[in-house]
Amino acid sequence: MDIVKLRTLIEEHNYRYYVLDDPVISDTEYDALFRELEQLEAHHPELITPDSPTQRVGAAPLKKFAKIEHSVPMLSIRNGFTEEELLAFDKRVREKLNVDKVSYSCEPKFDGVSIALIYENGVLIKAATRGDGFVGEDVTQNAKTIKSIPLHLRGNDFPDLLEVRGEVYIPLEDFERFNESSSKRGDKVFVNPRNAASGSLRQLDSRITAARPLQMFCYSIAGDKALQFKTQHEVLEKLKEWGFRVNDEIKVAHGIEECLVYFKELEQKRASLPYEIDGVVYKVDNLREQEELGFVARAPRWAIAHKFSAEEVESEVLAVDFQVGRTGALTPVARLHPVFVGGVTVSNVTLHNMQEIERKDIRIGDFVKVRRAGDVIPEIVSSVKSKRCDNARLIELPSKCPVCGADVMYVEGEAVARCSGGLYCSAQRKESIKHFASKTALNIDGLGDKLVAQLIDSDFIHYVTDLYKLTEEQLLTLERMGKKSADNLLRAIESSKKTTLAKFLYALGIREVGEATAKNLAKYFGNLESIMQVDADALQQVPDIGPVVAEHIELFFKQKHNKELVNELLKQGINWPDVEVEDGSLPLQDQTFVLTGTLESMSRNEAKAKLENLGAKVASSVSKNTTAVIVGRDPGSKAKKAKELGVAILTEAEFAKLLSL
């Protein structure tokens, strides 16, 4: 048989089998045709073409995926979970279009992996994952292994350049068979079809992808090529003619009421479908209307995903642990009897905070209803009161940090409890050291996030005090650290010892103590010893310090480990000049200024410091209480706001005169 006719015949059978689900020959007959083509191409390799059925697999494994920038961003679709949200969406659409009723294309929301396919003169030349919506990964070789993706389009009325988008998935029966055979071989078993599809599509070796039972449904044409059609429905019909699989459940609904009927019908059919879906997507069917509606942020105004209610199952709360986050927040985590829900096995669920526990009345030993919110994040919906046993125990917030033993701070009215051992607690180590070394604190130039992580991971620093014990020998063992960089860092660490009391207080990372509060403390008390010893009542005498901030400061300095670390830092040579205690007679006392634009004679931080040294407050926004706005080159909206409010505006020259007071 002629090689071209043989290829055409094989592709026709592929189309009937994978797209139409209507094969007309047996698998044995198909295999015989395929072997005949392989033999012909083996004898005449010069006749092999990129779109030949034999070229679906065979490329050498990649070292890494190349990046592909999407010509049209692959945006996400906003979710709606209630009928009220859907009705509100329809109302916005109708009002924007100024019509009484809108027709929608109703499509199953597949639980798979999005893909973009690019065809040039009808031949598949590129395939890319969604990525971040703007840049994806080049998975062309892997896409070619998926039999329901045509290598060459049918017919002759397709554009010279065409981008088709769809969803790659694994049918449920194929998923079960694949996992069963993998288990028998001792290979990896996937948790759910979506994870399996995602992992399979992103294999560097396309031969592995070819062994996975991937399929694809297409759902749109990207860019202005779609506008040669009137409706989304017409696009899908044409895609079928060109050889793509289009889902049979897609329907056009005339008005939002018909959409809701469709949703309920599909929800009832969900369990019997041969693939996983997690909702319905409604798209304005008229493409010109889609164009008129446009986009907002990273989502189209003309589409919304109506998610099914999350599956709920019951499990038992075996225990509750408290985890300490990088900022010291204590988060209760329920340890459950493992349960399979929404496609994954769940054994740990965050309870967020004590208020949430009280609101849901959850106890250790309770049976609880568990679901995956948005089919993603596991959550406990409620306790099952009818099953509560007599020995169910209340969940209690620990008084001491489970990591470092410092007191737990729980301010009434705040949702989150926190460990007060910021400098000492190992759970907060990276954040406390990064903050300590930051520009507005001790300003250790060159000590960035990655280097802090390296130093901690190498066991060179456990607390901020260890920064001043680092040696060149230790630093030279770190990745991408040469002698010059090591010497520069050690000099920066040494230079940081000369600071101010305000910067040192800010560097300690006391909760709610920012730069302004640290300066107020330094000016009011004049020395560190007084600040470490005063109680919350005395602290509230300082301007702008209320009861919550005062309590944070008092508790911080009550912690033995914090005091030890502060004293160790002083022993290592951190020092500052004496502070002149505030006497209330500074020339700009109780005045508030705002800076905007670029100053020629000094930086924004220098200007801020000069104002504060004269007793002024520097705010970030303009209000009627602002004394004046200081404008530099290219001022922003703050200058305009000042004019509207009648607030004084000072040029840089006038500002310089003010500073000379």
In the predicted structure, residue 58 carries a pLDDT above the cut 60: no
Q: Mean pLDDT throughout 92-105?
A: 95
Q: Decide: helix, strand or coil at residue 354.
A: helix
Structure tokens, 220: 């749109």
Backbone φ and ψ for 212, nearest 5 degrees, come out as -95, 140
Q: Are the C-beta atoms of 326 and 428 separated by less than 8 Å?
A: yes
Please spell the DSSP secondary structure of 317-350, one letter per residue. EEEEEEEE-TTSEEEEEEEEEEEEETTEEEEEEE
In the predicted structure, residue 583 carries a pLDDT above the cut 60: no
Tell me, yes or no, if 503 is annotated catalytic: no
Question: How many beta carbons lie within 10 A of that of residue 250, not counting itself?
Answer: 18
Walk me through the domains of the chain, giving residue ranges and CATH numbers: 3-56 (1.10.287.610), 79-305 (3.30.470.30), 313-387 (2.40.50.140), 412-582 (1.10.150.20), 592-659 (3.40.50.10190)
Amino acid of residue 418: R
The residue with greater pLDDT, 282 or 411, is 282
Question: How many beta carbons lie within 10 A of that of residue 404, not counting itself?
Answer: 21
Share of the chain above pLDDT 90, in %: 42
* Maximum CA extent, the chain: 102
Q: Mean pLDDT throughout 208-220?
A: 92
pLDDT given for residue 60 in this prediction: 63
Q: Decide: helix, strand or coil at residue 102.
A: coil
Stated as kind and residue range, the H or E segment containing 525 is helix 515-525
Give dist(CA 620, CA 614) in Å, integer: 18
What is the pLDDT confidence band of residue 582, given thresholds at 50, 70 and 90? low
What is the pLDDT confidence band of residue 343, given thresholds at 50, 70 and 90? low
In the predicted structure, residue 45 carries a pLDDT above the cut 80: no
Q: Mean pLDDT throughout 109-122?
A: 92
Backbone φ and ψ for 575, nearest 5 degrees, come out as -150, 165
pLDDT given for residue 376 in this prediction: 62
Give dist(CA 452, CA 429) in Å, integer: 10
Strands 417-419 and 408-409: antiparallel
Sequence-distant contacts of 205-210: CB under 8 A, at least 24 apart:
205/61, 205/62, 206/57, 206/58, 206/59, 206/61, 206/141, 206/142, 206/144, 206/145, 207/57, 207/61, 209/141, 209/142, 209/145, 209/146, 210/56, 210/57, 210/145
Give dist(CA 81, CA 88) in Å, integer: 12
In the predicted structure, residue 91 carries a pLDDT above the cut 90: yes
pLDDT given for residue 617 in this prediction: 82
Secondary structure of 250-301 in HEC code, one letter for each residue: CEEEECHHHHHHHHHHHHHHHHHCCCCEEEEEEEECEHHHHHHHCEECCEEC
Q: Mean pLDDT throughout 483-489?
A: 92
Q: Are the C-beta atoms of 117 and 163 separated by less than 8 Å?
A: yes
Per the residue annotation, which of 64, 67, 109, 147 is the catalytic one? 109
pLDDT given for residue 138 in this prediction: 93
Q: Are the C-beta atoms of 446 and 422 separated by less than 8 Å?
A: no
What is the side-by-side strand order in the sheet with 215-221? 123-129, 113-120, 161-169, 215-221
Share of the chain above pLDDT 70, in %: 95
Task: Match 């010291």 to its residue by tokens.
Answer: 328
pLDDT in tens, 596-629: 988 888 888 788 878 877 778 888 788 888 999 9
Give dist(CA 477, CA 577) in Å, integer: 36
In the predicted structure, residue 540 carries a pLDDT above the cut 60: yes
Give dist(CA 170, CA 147) in Å, integer: 12
Q: Are the C-beta atoms of 576 and 498 separated by less than 8 Å?
A: yes
pLDDT in tens, 250-267: 999 999 999 999 999 998
Most confident region among 372-376, 396-400, 582-586, 620-624 by mean pLDDT = 396-400
Q: Are the C-beta atoms of 482 and 446 separated by less than 8 Å?
A: no
Give dist(CA 226, CA 234) in Å, integer: 9
Q: Are the C-beta atoms of 260 and 94 separated by less than 8 Å?
A: no
Amino acid of residue 101: K
Tell me the CA distances in angstroms from 572 to 53, 330, 559, 562, 631, one per residue in order. Answer: 73, 32, 20, 15, 42
pLDDT given for residue 441 in this prediction: 92
What is the side-by-side strand order in the sheet with 628-631? 617-619, 592-596, 628-631, 648-650
